[in-house]
């Protein structure tokens, strides 16, 4: 069953109810590399709750979307995506207020665009997820994300559209930070919700075209956030108001991300490559807006 454009564009849900707590926040922080040094007093507040827990902003990516009543859901009826062939494309998170260390939330989701890159070239699905606090109704964050469905192109749609990419400065970076990942990083990060076997099962990874399991794209994204948060944002997560990225190539667990950053006032541009594979850019067109 191929993508039916009209059918997919009507998909979405309102009032998805969910909650998270301090354990979820700390597990995510460990999953993106916080707390490597348990004596680091600047990182300890992200992984230890006793002195006021801080939340890594990109934790927003893994907050469970929860469930909505059937009357508030519209699932595709005529379309089917090959999820074994899906990888992350781009992501933008806009933060309306700092994330509390525990919260009950409600989320509304809708499809913004579906781009047809052609038969054998895949499709790009652009979705929006808006999340607010359940109790007071305050907006917490809005995520616009694109996923690349490698096996679902050629349904007759337009190849153009989607969010514009941030253009990086042409000068040398103002700051470079190396962020390690562990060999078991994907196994740890999977506990924050994404249990896709692509990131843990060697046989499955080979079946879909990779030599071994790859790191979650959103783990690399969170690691880049760690790089900005620990340097230009001075470990103050409330300063990060927006965080964008384009996923360009996979990272393998155990590799080191080299995050280049450019500072222009409150605008931070960033890009990440892999130290062990010189010249391999894995995250591109990155943008962080600081308060």
The whole-chain average pLDDT of the chain stands at: 91
Is 137 in the same domain as 183? Answer: no
Q: Does 163 fall in a domain?
A: no
217, 222, 268, 286: which is the annotated catalytic residue? Answer: 217
Please indicate, yes or no, whether residues 17 and 97 belong to a single structural domain of this protein.
yes
Residue 217 is among the residues annotated as catalytic for this protein? yes
Residue 170 included in any domain:
no
Q: Which CATH number does the domain housing residue 113 bear?
A: 3.10.129.10
114 is catalytic: no
Catalytically annotated residue among 143, 199, 240, 286: 199
| DSSP assignments along 185-244, one per residue | HHHHHGGGS---GGGT-HHHHHHTT-SSPPPPHHHHHHHHHHHHHTTTTTT-GGGEEEEE
Range of the domain at 118: 5-149
Compute the CA torsion angle 228, 231, 233, 238 (nearest 10 deg): 80
Which of 84, 104, 101, 118 minimizes the C-alpha distance to 205? 84
Interval 10-56: pLDDT, tens: 888 999 999 999 999 999 999 999 999 999 999 999 999 998 999 99
Quickly state the pLDDT bin for 110 (edges 50, 70, 90): very high
pLDDT above 70 (res 57): yes
User: What confidence score (pLDDT) does residue 121 get?
Assistant: 72
Say what the pTM is: 0.91
**Mean predicted confidence (pLDDT) in 239-251:** 97
Q: State whether 135 and 181 are in the same domain.
A: no
Encode pLDDT of 193-229 as tens digits: 989 899 999 999 999 899 999 999 999 999 999 999 9
Say if residues 224 and 286 touch (Cβ distance below 8 Å).
yes
Looking at 214, 216, 240, 268, which residue is catalytic?
214
Does residue 199 carry a catalytic annotation? yes
Catalytic residue (one of 24, 152, 194, 244): 194
Only one residue has tokens 């919260």, namely: 103
Contacts of 213 (CB under 8 A, 6+ apart): 186, 198, 199, 200, 201, 202, 204, 205, 252, 253
Same domain membership, residue 70 and residue 183: no
Instruction: Return the minimum-mean-pLDDT range out of 110-124, 148-162, 247-261.
Output: 148-162
d(CA 181, CA 264): 28
In the structure encoding, which two tokens stand for residue 36, read together? 């490597």
Give the residue, 154 or 71, on which the prediction is more confident.
154
Alpha-carbon span 257 to 255, nearest angstrom: 7
- The answer to whether residues 144 and 183 belong to one domain is no
Residues 133 and 195 in one domain: no
Q: Catalytic annotation on 15?
A: no
Q: Are residues 204 and 272 in the same domain?
A: yes
């Amino acid at each position: 069953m191929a993508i039916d454009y009209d059918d997919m564009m009507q998909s979405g849900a309102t009032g998805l109810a969910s909650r998270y707590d301090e354990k979820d926040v700390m597990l995510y922080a460990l999953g993106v590399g916080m707390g490597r040094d348990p004596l680091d007093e600047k990182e300890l507040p992200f992984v230890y709750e006793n002195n006021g827990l801080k939340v890594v902003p990109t934790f927003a990516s893994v907050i469970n979307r929860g469930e909505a009543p059937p009357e508030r859901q519209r699932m595709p009826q005529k379309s089917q995506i090959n999820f074994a062939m899906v990888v992350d494309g781009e992501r933008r998170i806009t933060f309306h207020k700092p994330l509390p260390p525990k919260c009950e939330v409600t989320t509304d989701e809708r499809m913004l665009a579906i781009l047809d890159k052609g038969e054998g070239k895949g499709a790009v699905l652009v979705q929006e997820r808006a999340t607010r606090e359940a109790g007071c109704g305050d907006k917490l964050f809005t995520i616009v994300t694109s996923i690349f469905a490698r096996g679902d192109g050629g349904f007759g749609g337009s190849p153009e559209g989607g969010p514009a990419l941030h253009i990086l400065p042409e000068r040398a970076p103002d700051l470079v930070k190396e962020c390690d990942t562990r060999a078991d990083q994907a196994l740890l990060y999977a506990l924050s919700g994404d249990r896709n076997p692509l990131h843990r099962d060697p046989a499955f990874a080979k079946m879909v075209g990779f030599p071994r399991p790859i790191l979650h794209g959103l783990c690399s994204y969170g690691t880049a956030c760690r790089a900005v948060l620990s340097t230009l944002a001075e470990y103050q997560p409330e300063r990060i108001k927006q965080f964008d990225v384009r996923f360009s190539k996979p990272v393998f667990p155990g590799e080191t991300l080299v995050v280049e950053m450019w500072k222009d006032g409150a605008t931070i541009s960033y890009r990440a490559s892999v130290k062990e594979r010189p010249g391999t850019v894995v995250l591109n067109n990155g943008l962080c807006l600081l308060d």
